[in-house]
Amino acid sequence: MAAYMEGVEIKFKNLQLCEAEKKGIRIGRKQACSSQVSKIQAVGKLFAERPARAEHVGRTLGGVWSPLFGVDCKDLGRNRFLFIFQQKADKEKALDVGPWRFNNDLLVMEDFVPSRTIDEYEFKTIPIWVRAYGIPIGMMNRETGDLVGEQIGEVIDVDPDVNGDSMGAFMRIKVKLDITIPIMRFITTFTEDEVEQEQKDEMILLGDDEMKEIRNEKKEGEEKIVSFTYEYLPDFCYSCGIIGHTEKSCRTRSRRTGSRQFGSWLRANMYKGISSEERSRAPNNKGKF
Ligand SMILES: [Zn+2]
């Protein structure tokens, strides 16, 4: 076994895993049996410079997640907390809606896994609605939403039928956003032309060289830039684009030159025509925690 391990280490010595490869899956251990397992629990980490008291965190967020029963909140050290719910639906709200804030600091939630130590929780993704601008109206559907959303993170939901007067201006895609890497601002799309098939038929009549030329031209399609804004985007660094700290406390800021690549323009303007989910968080929840 040791020899095998060594072999693996040598084999992968010079390779660096990308984020997607590192993410991994956990199997089986979740079914572990203990009295803790039956409880409805989740863990959270508050990205704050000063420690917060579990009692305050629990009271404030419990009022939002579970107005009827509240939540029990236990301190797990270094601004990490264990939340105990009375109802499954309340826990789901805490996990699937968000991003949450307490005293203006970001609170990242993760589902409770019985076999995990607190240090094994990563607290690196937040659910967030992204608005994608620049998608052709005729292509605003779930499939496009999935494709575009996957570039940002795991897609949770797609809302192609944007309500009210903003119909057609953007698509809403809910993703699990990785907060350890810079916020994605744009993606480049290549729109395939619908008349492509017709042209393919025409190509049959052309010589090889002519066909090659046309194929190369058609290969990538029309380039379009899709830009993103994020709804209820927590504080993030305008210098490095990472959520959870601001420019003031950025460790890589001094190494950066040139104009700022991130800014408040990444925040979605919240105006009328919000979804029912947002309505449940507004207006009394907004900015209060
Ligand atoms: Zn930074």
**DSSP collapsed to 3 states, 92-149:** HHHHHCCCEEECCEEEEEEECCCCCCHHHCCCCEEEEEEEEECCCHHHCCHHHHHHHH
In the chain, the number of structural domains is 2
Closest of 127, 160, 130, 156 to residue 228, by C-alpha:
130
Same domain, 84 and 217: no
Query: Which residues span the domain enclosing 167?
Result: 126-233+268-279
Beta bridge partners, 100, equal 107
Q: Is residue 13 part of a domain?
A: no
CA 252 to centroid of ligand 1, rounded, Å:
6
- Report the pLDDT value the prediction gives residue 279, as an integer from 0 to 100: 41
The structure tokens 């039956």 sit at 38
Alpha carbon of 189 to ligand 1 centroid (Å) = 28
Alpha carbon of 63 to ligand 1 centroid (Å): 32
Which comes out higher in pLDDT, residue 163 or 192?
A: 192
Residue 244 within any structural domain of the chain: no
Those residues whose beta carbon sits under 5 angstroms from the ion ligand 1 are: 237, 239-240, 250
Report how many helices (DSSP H) and strands (DSSP E) the chain contains, helices first.
8, 10
- CA 161 to chain CA centroid, Å, is 20
Residue 9 has pLDDT above 60, yes or no: no
Ligand 1 geometric centre to CA of 48 (Å): 15
pTM given for the model: 0.71
Q: Which residue has the tokens 């449940």?
A: 280
User: Of 205 and 112, which is predicted with more confidence?
Assistant: 112
7 pLDDT above the threshold of 70 = no
In this predicted structure, which of 26-30, 49-53, 197-201 has the lowest mean pLDDT? 197-201
DSSP, collapsed to helix, strand or coil, labels residue 254 as helix
In a domain, 140, yes or no: yes
Whether 99 and 139 share a structural domain: no
Residues 44 and 84 in one domain: yes
Q: Where residue 108 falls among pLDDT bands split at 50, 70, 90?
A: very high
Please state the rounded mean pLDDT for residues 208-219. 57
Asked if residue 214 and residue 142 are part of one domain, the reply reads yes
Whether the per-residue pLDDT at 211 is higher than 70: the answer is no
pLDDT tens figures, 234-269: 999 999 999 988 898 898 887 778 888 999 999 998
Contacts of 141 (CB under 8 A, 6+ apart): 160
| Span from the CA of 180 to the centroid of ligand 1 (angstroms) | 10
